[in-house]
Structure 1
């Protein structure tokens, strides 16, 4: 999706409302990209973030440098009920991105995972219910709410798993798929997902849920536990080995953050139409790629082999997840997602510059100009 297709300032129904938009977790990868786009559209933004994830302070600094008169930051935890309530009561809309984001971390400390993802979300919802019940809230959920999809049969075709079910193979996993929470992370995000939907049903909050597949792009501080596309590129650029958990044939539909941001903003714009509903968001079948295929593309970009190691499958890992995006694209008027090959090439170049690495990737395709962003 090009910027020419994105919402313009005059498109917004809240024109003239100078209250800020609240982005919890706004210094994180997706949150800071949402905040940046909101500022470009003329909105003021409050970033509410504990800055607990390494590297995200650079995203906040980047936002403040780009939009010094529009960005306000609150360094606080979403478990701080009073601080969160003060921020929520003044917002004209809320993008709830703050979370404990790693399955592995949830296995080590499930109680903290619960406190952040469930209690933190309930703090926000109750603040809005009590003080600001007309403010739209869009919640960042996850494909992990569908569990490990262990009942789906696959065949190995080339370098990837392919579902035997023709409907799933053609379109991906739809919203009608039963919820099946696996791991403490799946439970906490899934419970928060359901709380958001029920607050829309029980209390009339204009709220919606977006269940994301794998999002990648500029300003992603990827680690082995979360943000794995960027992590793979960082390891490859630095000449370090990459560990694949499982066999590497598992498939994900990776989506450029530019496309994800447009979906979130469109959800706000059309909240009256979609409130109380959940949507799957990913790159769709056209952007489905196995880990092995992705690493082969990265090796081609770099012009050299990548050192790969293997380890056991991790808890709750899905052998296949591709989002059926027909519902969200139809309801929100979204265009086709951008090509994963071009997006990964652009992310490789951004990471090279942002991390001060001298070796330039050899691009198989030229990155799209619309996705360019100034590195930290």
Structure 2
């Protein structure tokens, strides 16, 4: 018998959340998205979901810091995909208490709602590579062209889940706290949880800003003709994962929860999709046919000079691997951003 109960997505009107909701509804699942609609673009994403899927997607306006609506939403859910969060390092530095309340306390509210009211519901949590801190010292990296590379050959395949945690910045602390709570609720209370420590996810429906969603922010700045500020020297490296591949990983974990419950996975594009900030700017110039003006500013707290994900644990467990290479993914994001923000004469359109 098919389980018709909805899948709850906290933060479901955000970038990754709405892409998850869209894919789930496309395959016929009922979805409830819980979102406080506080961030740029989320109201538009909510309208987009409703226009595409109608009654298959229900939108609940609530905040995970308030346990009552969280309990109400969790009680009847078939599964919980927990993405609601404060996502900017800079905001965490300016207001650490709020950052903690959203990321740590909000996650505890979700876990307690599941533990007390729906303990068989799978819980998949959006963690971050920031739980590993700055990761490597300047002495452990060297310059190769426009990017940093580690001097230790053992890091060539990327960062594995065995890497010691070293929270850096209030954001790293709050997300790391939540990460460990989710993992521990599987061990202590038997909840069916999975932690996804994600690196640089990008793609359509991402309203990138200077503080979060840097690939979309860089592309959008190029479309508008706005100059960029690069924090650091631009040679820092990330592995980029297209949102369609991220959604595929999440749904693989959800659909095979009995196989992976209690596990922690790193989720990113891996070595094949690694890129530095300066390399991205060059690719954007080739894609858009115009140069991107930029200047430099000081590094921000916890900025990693190099991070590439080792995805072998996820691949071994679920057979998952990234399908969209970065050149193709950039084209898809550029197409969406240009359709949303560009104009026929190349002038700038106001944001929503």
Q: TM-score, normalised by structure 1?
A: 0.90
Cα shift at 1:149: 1.0
Per the alignment, residue 110 of structure 2 pairs with 124
Alignment partner of 2:22 out of 32, 36, 49:
36
- String of CA shifts for 1:348-367, please: whole Å, max 9, x gaps: 1110111142268xxxxxxx
Cα shift at 1:250: 0.3
C-alpha RMSD of the superposition: 1.2
Aligned length: 346
Alignment partner of 1:274 out of 241, 244, 260:
260
Per the alignment, residue 364 of structure 1 pairs with none
- Structure 1 residue runs of 4 or more that deviate by more than 2 Å after TM superposition: 356-360
Alignment of 1:81-160 (within 5 A): 81-151=67-137, 153-160=140-147
| Residues 272-281 or 208-217, more deviating | 272-281
Per the alignment, residue 257 of structure 1 pairs with 243
Per the alignment, residue 309 of structure 2 pairs with 323
Cα shift at 1:193: 0.3
Cα shift at 1:236: 0.6
Per the alignment, residue 313 of structure 1 pairs with 299
Cα shift at 1:332: 1.3
Alignment partner of 2:65 out of 55, 73, 79:
79
- Partner SS for 2:81: strand
Per the alignment, residue 155 of structure 2 pairs with 168
- Structure 1 gaps of 5+ residues are 1-14, 361-375
Per the alignment, residue 344 of structure 2 pairs with 358
Per the alignment, residue 220 of structure 1 pairs with 206
- String of CA shifts for 1:59-88, please: whole Å, max 9, x gaps: 000000000020111100001101100000
| Residues 342-351 or 144-153, more deviating | 144-153
Q: Answer whether contact 1:352 1:358 (CA < 8 A) is retained.
A: no
CA distance in 2, matches of 1:337, 1:294: 19
- String of CA shifts for 1:179-231, please: whole Å, max 9, x gaps: 00000000000000000011000000000100000000000010000011100
| Residues 236-245 or 348-357, more deviating | 348-357
Q: Answer whether contact 1:145 1:190 (CA < 8 A) is retained.
A: yes
- String of CA shifts for 1:304-353, please: whole Å, max 9, x gaps: 21101110101100000000001111111113331101111111111011
Cα shift at 1:283: 0.4
